[in-house]
Amino acid sequence: MTSDRNILDIDFLDKTVRAIAEDISTSPDRGEVSQFLPELAAIDPRQFGLAVVTADGYEAAAGDIDEAFTIQSISKVFALSLALETFGDEVWTRVDREPSGDPFNSITDLERHGGYPRNPFINPGALVIVDMLLDKADGPGPTKFVESFLAEQIGADDFAVDEAIFESEIGLSHTNRALAHLAKSFGNLNHPVDDVIAAYVRQCAIALSCRQLARAGRYLMLERAGAGAATDPSRRRARQARRVASLMLTCGQYDGSGDFAFRVGLPAKSGIAGGLLAIVPNTATIAVWAPGLDANGNSLLGTLALERLAEAMDWSVFGAVERR
């Protein structure tokens, strides 16, 4: 580790990413793969990928970085960004910004709060966001908002929806359907439940590799917004991205968000297929994938990898230990 890292030490970053991937590939405790869908339960837990994209566009990566996995709940970050871009602060009339302290698909939590979901990263919150986005759909059929947004961010559309996972989850979305009906009974869902579920399940089934996911999250890194007026769209987008990142920090890892902030110190969002997207503001985005989950449903080795990377690079939203 160098003592002065005003400038990102790319050699050190490369070595660190490789060393973490190598070390983690031999880890005996890999967590449990999600049993939610048979297709997720069948995923080989020995896979591991880690990709970092820096603000300058440099990519450091190691492991299974080109293997695609479904982004699942990480899609909630992109859907929220789109909703904020389209509807601005009106979003907060439909969903709150508080950690829930209950499971991500809790029905009692939604009932207790009168159909006003605690945040956009638990399922009822994400369903309400999808409902808002459906206002902009230009006809029946599958909505592709999140796919188009991702293609724009990645600069390519060489990714797809995992149709087997999509079909499987459509058939097994009993709790999500119940949440959508409950939100509707409180007047917080405008579109038919089936349409909302289909669009939501579709965004969860988008399959990206670590490399693609790290690229997709770059807009959240807050690359310099440019010197234009405060109303300049790139500045507005950057301000919204900072707010999205604040929710990733407080609500991004289900009931493990507090421990994650303590250990890693970076805004991140996890998904039940074992993916994680983390942001180092102004510096880098990180995507990691290890399918085995911990008791809170977050990638066990993915979290460990982020903890080690953040420590080695001295990355934290709570400041740097090494003097700059």
Q: Of 62 and 306, which has the nearer Cβ to ligand GLU? A: 306
Give the one residue of 82, 84, 249, 272 binding ligand GLU; rule: CB under 6 A.
272
Question: To the nearest whole angstrom, how small is the minimum distance from the Cβ of residue 271 to ligand GLU?
Answer: 4
Is 72 an interacting residue with respect to ligand GLU (CB under 6 A)?
Answer: yes
Structure tokens at 14: 């490369």
Q: Of 64 and 169, which has the nearer Cβ to ligand GLU? A: 169
Give the one residue of 16, 54, 73, 299 binding ligand GLU; rule: CB under 6 A.
73
Question: To the nearest whole angstrom, how small is the minimum distance from the Cβ of residue 126 to ligand GLU?
Answer: 7
Question: To the nearest whole angstrom, how small is the minimum distance from the Cβ of residue 132 to ligand GLU?
Answer: 17
Q: Of 72 and 209, which has the nearer Cβ to ligand GLU? A: 72
Is 33 an interacting residue with respect to ligand GLU (CB under 6 A)?
Answer: no
Q: Of 60 and 272, which has the nearer Cβ to ligand GLU? A: 272
Question: To the nearest whole angstrom, how small is the minimum distance from the Cβ of residue 272 to ligand GLU?
Answer: 4
Compute how many residues bind ligand GLU; rule: CB under 6 A. 10
Question: To the nearest whole angstrom, how small is the minimum distance from the Cβ of residue 47 to ligand GLU?
Answer: 17
Is 271 an interacting residue with respect to ligand GLU (CB under 6 A)?
Answer: yes
The three-state DSSP-derived secondary structure of the chain is CCCCCCCCCHHHHHHHHHHHHHHHHCCCCCCECCCCCHHHHCCCCCCCEEEEEECCCCEEEEECCCCCEECHHHHHHHHHHHHHHHHHHHHHHCCCCCCCCCCCCCHHHHHHCCCCCCCCCCHHHHHHHHHHHHCCCCCCCCCCHHHHHHHHHHCCCCCEECHHHHHHHHHHCHHHHHHHHHHHHCCCCCCCHHHHHHHHHHHHCEEECHHHHHHHHHHHHCCCCCCCCCCCHHHHHHHHHHHHHHHHHHHCCHHHHHHHHHHCCCCEEECCCCEEEEEECCCEEEEEECCCECCCCCEHHHHHHHHHHHHHHCCCCCCCCCCC
Question: To the nearest whole angstrom, how small is the minimum distance from the Cβ of residue 169 to ligand GLU?
Answer: 6
Question: To the nearest whole angstrom, how small is the minimum distance from the Cβ of residue 273 to ligand GLU?
Answer: 7
Q: Of 145 and 315, which has the nearer Cβ to ligand GLU? A: 145
Q: Of 117 and 271, which has the nearer Cβ to ligand GLU? A: 271
Question: To the nearest whole angstrom, how small is the minimum distance from the Cβ of residue 205 to ligand GLU?
Answer: 8
Q: Of 241 and 272, which has the nearer Cβ to ligand GLU? A: 272
In degrees, rounded to 5, the angle at the alpha carbon of residue 134 between the alpha carbons of residues 112 and 87 is 80
Q: Please, what is the angle between helix 193-204 and helix 145-154, to 10°?
A: 20
Q: Binders of ligand GLU among 86-125, rule CB under 6 A?
A: 104-105, 123
Site string for ligand GLU, 171-200 (x = CB under 6 A): -----x------------------------
Q: Of 51 and 77, which has the nearer Cβ to ligand GLU? A: 77
Residues that bind ligand GLU (CB under 6 A): 72-73, 104-105, 123, 169, 176, 204, 271-272
